[in-house]
Chains A and B, each alone.
Chain A
Amino acid sequence: MSFFRGQVVKTLPSFYMKGEKLSDYIISLQGVSKEFDTKDGKVTALKDINLDIEHGDAYGIIGLSGAGKSTLVRTINLLEQPTEGRVVFDEKVLTGLKNKDLNISRRKISMIFQQFNLLMQRDAIGNVCFPLEIAGYPKEKALKKARELLEVVDLEDRANSYPSQLSGGQKQRVAIARALASDPEVILCDEATSALDPKTTRSILELLKKINEERGITLVVITHEMEVIKQLCNKVAVIENGQIVERGDVQEIFKYPKTQAARRLFLPIAENTEVDERGKISTRHRLRLVFDGRSAYEPIISRMIMELQAPVNFLYANMDVIGDQQKGQMVICLADDPVIAEKQKEFLRNADVDITEIIVDEGEEV
């Protein structure tokens, strides 16, 4: 893949298109950068992004607002033209395609949005028919398909309701049915649940997960919420200042977040207790523990306290279900005495608990 990187799209010899595979991935961003011209000069939104997404992935892209994640997802279907680099979708280089060909490729990349973006003057079924109309489907066939898709999203009884008569969650369901209408390979989800309440968010995420699993449709999920990644994604990339700083399996990154940015997202505590009111806790040794599987159900900490006869201080504890696995995470302060603290660490390692030391100073690596 890196073999092709940096080549000018237009001069790409045509035999690459026929013979060698451009990419085994459904989506491949290669050296993608994006600059915006603003009044205050050039702003770099994306810097040399390389990202490969496999068929069937539910790939999360997480970052704080302004990190560039929305720009990133919008380069995939070229709503945003990258300043540099290539976007490869399903073995086709999208950057450099003529509008007409791009539009045909776009039919296989659906998108759902935070603000739903439904046509307000069309009823639910009319909205679902819209992409089919664009693709030149006969009307009867389109209606039949739209009706089936409304059933998939549990809205068959609201087919003739207009968006103004639907709740946020229902609107997003219509948008999902609309996204499915063109039988896409990929659905891009741009903060799709950020405007919804927690309960509705959960049901939308469940629906998306079902679509991902049952139909094998690849999802690219942009979010600033860890919960969305945990519930929906198998892979995740952490984006900060327009760059991907960390990526991999959600399970792995949850266990061992390497960069400060990832830790900030996965360990809410790391930031929140940086300065303790009494100025005491923050000077002490902190550990993040991740339990999985069996160890999540055992009273390991109690055993440690009893065995070593030394207290620990709990700063944070939570149980999570990531994908289909139960994970517990906990942040504790070890004993003041460094000898005992070392023993405590030893105990936890032997108990098969993943531990990460949290060092409070910004920028320092573990």
Chain B
Amino acid sequence: MDTAVLISMLWEGLLETLYMTLIGTLVSYLLGLPIGVSLIVTGPNGIKPAPLYNKVVGFIVNVVRSVPFLILMIALMPYIRKIIGTGIGTRATTAALIVAATPFVARMVEQSLLEVEAGVIEAAQAMGASNVQIIRKVLLVEARPSLLNGAAVATITILGYSAMAGALGGGGLGSIAIRYGLHRFQPAIMWITVIVLVILVQVLQEIGVKIANKMDNRLN
């Protein structure tokens, strides 16, 4: 294959992957963050326990999380096609990614917020802070480093999902790897995409840790 063609193909794949990963992560956080917060708030030791809500939402989150991504994507395909008009390609994959990643993100957020010491929340309650103030000014701020680390992990997981989606015509680097490496027996191209993916993961992880540490006032 012509190098220039190869590069432009890889470049396009990279952009598609980044698009799916970033949009997928962003929307997953828009949905998953409030769900994660609500799980903490309504939990048994939360600031406003609501056992029924907590159990129901927790159960839904677990169900979606226990379905392997590829199977979930296949199951969702008809519905996604109905809603956005197509079952394959970058946009369809992004939609499936959001459905799969939102519960994952919710659990990550929940784990991070669990790390906030109960005593600090209690101190805020004793000062007369409302629940909204406790969420905004205590929970989310005190857990910020952990939330950012979690976001790096979530982004990388979603990147991995997006590559898997290549098997189902999802677009991006994963799709290139499967089309050339598997269907056309061109392992070189497959390896190149693998290397690009590895570099991408490294960069995302580094950025995540860097930002998380920089924002953590416990480590000065």
Contact = CB atoms under 8 A, between A and B. Distances in A.
A208 B73 CA distance: 63
Contacts of A104: 128
Interface in A105-138: 105-107, 109-111, 113, 115, 117-123, 130-131, 133-135
Nearest to B130: A103
Interface in B31-82: none
Given A119-B138, A121-B144, A111 B217 contact: no
Contacts of B217: 120-123, 162, 164
Given A130-B127, A130-B137, A117 B220 contact: no
B127 A134 contact: yes
Interface in A80-121: 99-100, 102-107, 109-111, 113, 115, 117-121
A165 interface: yes
24 contacts: A79-B125, A103-B128, A105-B128, A106-B126, A107-B127, A107-B128, A110-B127, A111-B127, A115-B119, A117-B120, A117-B123, A119-B141, A120-B217, A120-B218, A122-B217, A123-B217, A130-B124, A130-B127, A131-B127, A134-B128, A134-B130, A162-B218, A163-B218, A164-B217
A164 B128 CA distance: 25
A77 interface: yes
Query: Which 3 residue pairs across A and B have the least CB separation, nearest first?
Result: A106-B128, A103-B128, A117-B123
B117 interface: yes
B163 to A, nearest CB: 35
Contacts of B124: 130, 134
A121 B128 contact: no
Nearest to A184: B127
Contact of B120 (A77, A106, A118): A118
Given A162-B218, A164-B220, A165-B220, A117 B119 contact: yes
Contact of A134 (B122, B129, B142, B216): B129
B17 to A, nearest CB: 33
Q: In terms of DSSP, what is the predominant structure of the interface of chain B? A: helix
A103 B218 contact: no
- Which residue among B119, B126, B129, B219 has the maximum number of chain A CB atoms within 10 Å of its CB? B126
Nearest to B121: A117
Contacts of B133: 134
Given A100-B130, A103-B128, A119-B120, 6 more contacts: A77-B126, A79-B125, A118-B123, A119-B138, A120-B142, A121-B217
B136 to A, nearest CB: 11
Nearest to B120: A117
B127 A106 contact: yes
B92 to A, nearest CB: 40
Given A121-B142, A134-B129, A111 B123 contact: yes
A182 interface: yes
A243 B58 CA distance: 41
Contacts of A99: 130
Interface size class of A (residues with CB under 8 A): 20 to 34
A305 to B, nearest CB: 54
Contacts of A133: 137
Interface of A: 77, 79, 99-100, 102-107, 109-111, 113, 115, 117-123, 130-131, 133-135, 162-165, 182, 188
Contacts of B122: 79, 113, 117
A182 B127 CA distance: 8
B119 A164 contact: no
Contacts of A188: 126
Interface in B121-170: 122-130, 133, 137-138, 141-142, 144
A113 B123 contact: yes
Contacts of B129: 103, 134
Interface in B95-139: 117, 119-120, 122-130, 133, 137-138
Given A162-B218, A162-B220, A164-B219, A119 B126 contact: no
A162 B141 CA distance: 14
A289 to B, nearest CB: 43
A6 B23 CA distance: 60
Contacts of B126: 77, 79, 106, 109-111, 188
Contacts of A100: 130
B129 to A, nearest CB: 5
Contact of B119 (A113, A134, A162): A113
A163 B220 CA distance: 10
A206 to B, nearest CB: 23
Nearest to B131: A99
A70 to B, nearest CB: 11
Contacts of A113: 119, 122-123
Contacts of B123: 111, 113, 117-118
Contacts of B130: 99-100, 103, 134
A121 B216 CA distance: 7
A92 to B, nearest CB: 13
Nearest to B127: A131
Contacts of B141: 119, 121-122
Nearest to A111: B126
Interface string B13-33: 000000000000000000000
A79 B126 CA distance: 7
